[in-house]
Amino acid sequence: MRVILIVLFAAGLPACNQQTDHSSQNLQTQIDSLRNKVNHAYSPGVGEFMSSIQLHHAKLWFAGKNGNWELADFEMEEIQESLDDIQQYCADSPSIKPLPMIFPPLDSVKHAISEKNINMFKTSFNLLTNTCNNCHKAANHAFNVIKIPDIPPVTNQVFEKASK
């Protein structure tokens, strides 16, 4: 009886191994397919994120200049989110190496917003804008010059503080 069980067990082992090989092959095929999808998935570049930041920079100016502190705070959060995304999705780009220089001026603008101080806001926003340009220079993109906007970037948004 014992010999029969050993023979049956030995005969069944190759069948189990074939099933495992087949399962392994299916898993490897799925892994390869997913790897291919990840490698070909859209990944925004630094420029796409910077365009978003540029829009929020302009909106931030008009919100702060008009004392709309809630909107200014929101725009700051949007800028910070885009900067975080740049660090996550564009970490290999050499153009983001000088990016940390922007954080102290951002903190200065955030402080001015929290204090609801228009004069402090204007000064810190000017510093932020100049630092953007210094960062562009350090990243070999000196041709990309940012300025304090003259007119609102969109005409379908109110930048003045809403009356309650």
Say if 17 falls within a structural domain. Answer: no
Whole-number mean pLDDT of the chain?
89
Residue 69 has pLDDT above 80, yes or no: yes
Say if 155 falls within a structural domain. Answer: no
User: In this structure, what token pair is assigned to residue 51?
Assistant: 């365009």
Summarize pLDDT for 25-66 with one digit per residue, the tens. Answer: 898 898 988 888 888 888 889 999 999 999 999 999 999 999
Contact (Cβ atoms closer than 8 angstroms) between residue 56 and residue 106: no
What pLDDT score was predicted for residue 40?
81
Rg over CA atoms, the chain: 28
How far apart, in whole angstroms, are the C-alpha atoms of residue 77 and residue 154?
Answer: 19
pTM: 0.77
Say if 154 falls within a structural domain. Answer: no
Residue 82: enclosing H or E segment and its boundaries? helix 69-89
Residue with tokens 């725009």: 75
Domain ranges, residue 104: 46-138
Contact (Cβ atoms closer than 8 angstroms) between residue 108 and residue 127: yes
Say if 4 falls within a structural domain. Answer: no
Which DSSP state fits 150?
A: S
What pLDDT score was predicted for residue 39?
83
Residue with tokens 């102290």: 104
Say if 67 falls within a structural domain. Answer: yes
Say if 14 falls within a structural domain. Answer: no
Q: Average pLDDT for residues 145-163, to the nearest whole number?
A: 92
Say if 25 falls within a structural domain. Answer: no
CATH number at residue 112: 1.20.120.290
Domain count for the chain, please give it: 1
101 or 7, higher pLDDT: 101
What pLDDT score was predicted for residue 6?
58
What pLDDT score was predicted for residue 15?
55
How far apart, in whole angstroms, are the C-alpha atoms of residue 53 and residue 55?
Answer: 5
